[in-house]
Every structure is written in C-alpha cells, then in structure tokens.
Structure 1
C-alpha cells in the first residue's frame, strides 16, 4: 500500500498520539484507574475501575437498556407499560430477575418490603402525586391494591388481581443496576473496581492506594434547626455490596406532626420508630438495597431478628436519641464490626 507524504505524516501523528494515550493509562507496569460519572434513573453514578480502556460508552449503553426495563421515570419502559395495563408487553430478564427477588424478600420480611406500595406513598405525599386527605377508610381502600402476593408472572406477562395495582422497584433496582455494571466489569476481567449508583455500592479488589475501598456512612443529625450530615463511620469493602436507606431527609408535616417517607406496606401508615438510617452489606447490591428498605420499615429489633436468620446479611442501624439531640445510638449485627474502621 502506498502512502503519500500527507498520509505518512498523519500516520506518524496517529501513532504518537496512540503512544501518549497508552502512557496515560499505564504508569510503569501499572494500569491506571478509569473514573466515569454520569446521570441515570434520575440520579448520579460514579464508577472507578482499573483497566487500560475507558468503558463509559459501553456502561452508558448498558444502563440505558436497564432504564428501559425498570425505570418508572421512563414512559417507554417495560414497567411503565405494565403500570398502564398494556397487555401486549412482555418482561425481559432484568424485570424478571428483580420481580422474583422482590417476591422472595417480600415473603422473608413479612410484607415490609413491597414494590406495590406506591398508592400509599402517593397518598402520604411522597410519590408522583400530591398528598390527599388521609382517612382510615382511604388507607383501608388503598391497601386492597397493595401486596406482592396479589401480583404474579406468567409466561412473561404480569398478572394483577387488581388492575389498579402498580409496581415501583426503586427500592431494589438501583442496587440491581450496580450488580449489572459489576458483572460487566467482571466480564472484562477487571479485578479492582467500585460502582456507585445513587448511593448504592458494589466494590471489588483494591483502590488506587492498594487498600480496600473506603466508604463513608453518613451521620444523620436531626434537630429543630434541620438536618446536617457528618461521617458516622467508614466501611472497608474489598468484595461486597452496600446500600443505605434513611428517612431523616425526606419528611413532611401532617396535622402538625412530622411524618417520615418510610411507609409500612402492612399498616398503610408511616413508621413511627426512632430508626434514622440503616446500612446493609450483602453479597449483591440488589439484596442489600431491598433489605435496607425492609429494615427501615421493621425497626431495629425486628430487623436484628430477620438479619440473624438471613445468610450473608450484616447491618448498621443509626437511631435518634431525641429530636433536639445531636447524639445517635448505633446498633450493629455481630458480623458488621469487621467492616468498620
């Protein structure tokens, strides 16, 4: 193949640029870490991984496919079509996986984790709709369309006992999306990475300093002046997933009383215990995410009982010591201690 003068110069420039880029990614014999961030599911993601190539375009494509399956904010998603009672739509593997895992955790938590709870969230003013007048009769009526035991999958289609039922996997899907990205990085042979999407995390291997990934757990401070945040403690993750759920940021007042956004799907009312936040560590982030939500509903004592009989689950609970106090009470499962610095 002949190359004229301009072509030769262009080829040399290309090779030089390629060599410089390669040097940026490799320091000595050490492959440097890539840092990606962006927006998905109405939240921010941050992903760091040790690899010779930038994989952000592939990661974005993966997350967009996931979004089109499970995002309630995407009108073209599978879940949006199901909530509209579109009888032609069939679920994909993403939907099937998160649906079945939700069913399992719904049963294990005795209904504390329930992706059909949206009508109750809306009526209390924490969902897509504005708050409505709340009466015991209205709550009882809404409970008729809440419950994962009233909805099933059959031949790729969602079957509802009540057509008014809707699904929202926000309390498990962000965690699952972290798992999906982690699986993708594993498929590339990447051994060191951390995936964070909307606060949910999957970590593997070591950070750029050669240590386990260090993740801060917020210290919620609830007082009459409002909410401020400091770091309560640091969790060290070499191989695992972590999710945090809390109700100290999102609240409103009903009849002069402070009402947190965590709704008990069984009673239909906001929880009233003093648990401010819970952090769960599990083998996968889908599980950690869902159990963090369930534990916020159950409170500390029932959550400790459930964690004790659930394999590979550890948790840290932060409880309020009083409305005007900056002190918090910390409760942990026995196995959680090994993760804390």
Structure 2
C-alpha cells in the first residue's frame, strides 16, 4: 500500500509526486511534517500553514497517533486490543469509541467481502511463518491447519454499544484480533479530520503509503499520487492518479513471501482455506473517501484474486486498479470507476 519523491515508493507502493510543472513562486506556502508511527513513517503536507504552527500541530498529531497505537497496536502489551486478545472470557470487554469503530468497520468489510477480510486470522499468519513465530520447516499438515483455523472466524467477534460505552466480545476464548489491515488507514483519517477541524482544508496525510487528500495542493491542483510497478528495485512508476477529497491504499504480496517445499508462500492469508494465497494478483490499489475502508478493501481484494476482485469492484462501484503477474510482466486491469483518476 510521499513527499520524499519517488524513493519512498518502494516499501509501500505509493508516493507523492512533486508538482514540478509550476515554478515554486506560484505555490501557496505549505508546511511539511514528518515523523514515525505504527512501525513506519508519516508525511503530512498542509497548504496555507507556516512554520509558526509546526510545533503545536505536530505535537497534537503525534498525540492522536499515539492514542491509536495505545488502543489498537498488537505490539504494545498494554494496548486495548492486546488486553482484549488476552481476555479469555466471553464477557464484554470495555474499549474506546475508536477501537469499537475500527472493529465495526472490519466486521462490515468482512461481511461485504464474503469473509475475504478477516481480522482474526493472526494465528494462521503465525502458523505460516509471517508473525513473531519462527518459520516452519515444512508445510503445515491438514490436522495442524484445521486446529489453528478453528481458532479464527469473524462470527466469534462482536461489538456492543451500551449507555456506558463500547465493548468487544468474543465467543471463542483464544480469538486473536489484529487490525493491522485497517488501523493504519484509520490513523490517516484521524489526522486528516483533525487538520480539517483546525481549518486546514487543503492537505495530504500519508502513513506508510496509505494516503488521504483534502482540497488541492500548493499549486492549486489535484494531488498526484504514483502507483508503484511491482518487482525488484525501487522507484518504478506504474501509473499516476490525481486525487482531491479522497483516499488511496495499496496492498500487494510481491515483497513479503518465502519458498518452502518448492512452494511460494505469500504473507496474505485466504481465510477460507487457512493458507497463503496462490493466485498471481500482485498489487491492488483502491480509491475510496475513507482511508480506513480503502486500506481494508485493498487487503480483501488481494485475497480474492484478479477476476473476483474486478467483478466485486464493478458490482459495488469501487475504484480499483489491479496488477497481475504474467509470464511477460504485469497485466493491468481497472474498474470503470477508477478511470476518471488516471493521469499520465
């Protein structure tokens, strides 16, 4: 799935393109903030802001992103989500409004995509060697796979809202929830909504490749984003899109994989089989008003594979761009709704 130009494309699939078509003198002043969060970086461009606001804005942005981490990180033992994962009872577990909101969105996307997005597949990710556990020395057997798969499933997770707050509930003691497929996009939305509240209606927020735009860039144009061409090396642009008041996220399996017993194993799990995906869809880019939704949809469509993903996008009017590996390179497919964003 941005303003250090193209060299930031490689790890996450997207980057800002600097608007070099106009001289700098014609540009509105712009503040650029960078930092680290969620195990990656953030890059924020705020049109019409100057250095006098930098310290206060960045402090509040960092505070809000830290709050998201404290709520939903699985790497923090004391986060709300980590404590819920250790909660073995089926009694309601109190969480923040933010955590309830993100889990609710994950459940909605799970239903919408027929289970292609499943935030409970963490044990399967670990089983196949893409989590903190060591990689297996052999392909997991059917019995082992079935035992781990039995510990997953969105049907075992629910969100409850009561007069005194929000709660998560599990019907399976060992259920483990990982929101990494959707929480980064939510963090982008949180920052963008904060900037809009502060009156900065022209900005771009990016966290590790997930992007949300508002208004126009410093040159009075739509924000331009580059979709990376999959493959070895860095900085190869596949397609440029122009965005205003919307978000974009990319998911792909062409970097995080390994080979075992002669099989290429992707980090992307198919919840239906409990196994890594085996099709040749390498990269999915989704444009959606909500970065959280774009983030989750990109993962779900990656699970589906090219034909199912494209049909799903057309059925739901989604703007989707797909790159599928072929013997000769990569084939491009896109939904009808995506075409209006193309540039270059």
* TM-score, L = length of structure 2: 0.85
The question of 1:253 aligning with 2:259 is answered: yes
Q: Equivalent residue for 1:179?
A: 189
Aligned counterpart for 1:216 among listed residues 226, 229, 243: 226
Give the structure 2 partner of residue 318 of structure 1. 323
Aligned to 2:172: 162
Tell me, in whole angstroms, the C-alpha distance in 1 between the residues paired with 2:25 and 2:235: 40
2:34 matched residue in structure 1: 37
Larger mean CA deviation between 228-237 and 194-203 belongs to 228-237
Change (3 A) 1:229 1:29: closer
Partner of 2:248: 242
Cα separation, 2, equivalents of 1:49 and 1:213: 12
Alpha-carbon RMSD: 2.0
- Structure 1 unaligned residues grouped into runs of 5+: 1-26
Q: 1:107 is matched with which residue?
A: 111
Aligned mates of 2:102, 2:290 — CA distance in 1: 12
Q: Is the 8 A contact 2:27 2:219 kept in 1?
A: no
Residues 7-86 of structure 1 mapped to structure 2, 5 A cutoff = 32-50=29-47, 51-52=49-50, 53-54=53-54, 55-85=57-87
Contact 1:41 1:73 in 2 (8 A): no
Q: Which has the higher contact order (CA 8 A, sep 6+)?
A: 2
Cα offset, 1:131, TM superposition? 2.5
User: 3-state DSSP class of the match of 1:111?
Assistant: coil
Deviation string 1:123-148 (CA, Å, 9 cap, x unpaired) is 11111222235111111111111111
**Whole-angstrom CA distance in 1 between matches of 2:274 and 2:287:** 28
CA contact (8 A) 2:28 2:218 kept: no
- Aligned-pair CA distance for 1:30: 8.0
Distance 2:97 2:26 in 1: 40
The alpha-carbon deviation at position 232 of structure 1 amounts to 0.3
CA distance 1:29–1:110, shift in 2 (3 Å): closer
Q: From 282, 306, 311, give the equivalent of 2:312.
A: 306
Where do 5+ consecutive residues of structure 2 fail to align? 1-23
CA distance in structure 2 between the aligned counterparts of 1:86 and 1:211, rounded to whole angstroms: 52
Q: Judging changes above 3 Å, is the alpha-carbon distance between structure 1 residues 140 and 123 closer, same or farther for their aligned structure 2 residues?
A: same
Give me the whole-angstrom Cα distance separating, in 1, the residues matched to 2:256 and 2:147. Answer: 25
Instruction: Measure the CA separation in 2 of the matches of 1:332 and 1:178.
Output: 25
**What secondary structure does 1:90 align onto?**
strand
Query: How many residues get paired?
Result: 307
3-state SS of 2:75 partner: coil
Please report the TM-score for the alignment, with normalisation by the length of structure 1: 0.86
Shift of 1:227: 5.6
State the structure with more CA Rg.
1
Q: Does 1:94 align with 2:98?
A: yes
CA 227–124 in structure 1, closer or farther in 2 if over 3 Å, else same: farther
Following TM superposition, by how much is the alpha carbon of 1:191 offset from its aligned partner in structure 2, in angstroms? 1.6
Aligned-partner Cα distance in 2 for 1:28–1:262: 46
2:302 to 283, 296, 300: 296
Contact 2:100 2:167 (8 Å CA) reproduced: no
Which of 149, 156, 160 aligns to 1:143? It is 149
CA contact (8 A) 1:241 1:283 kept: yes
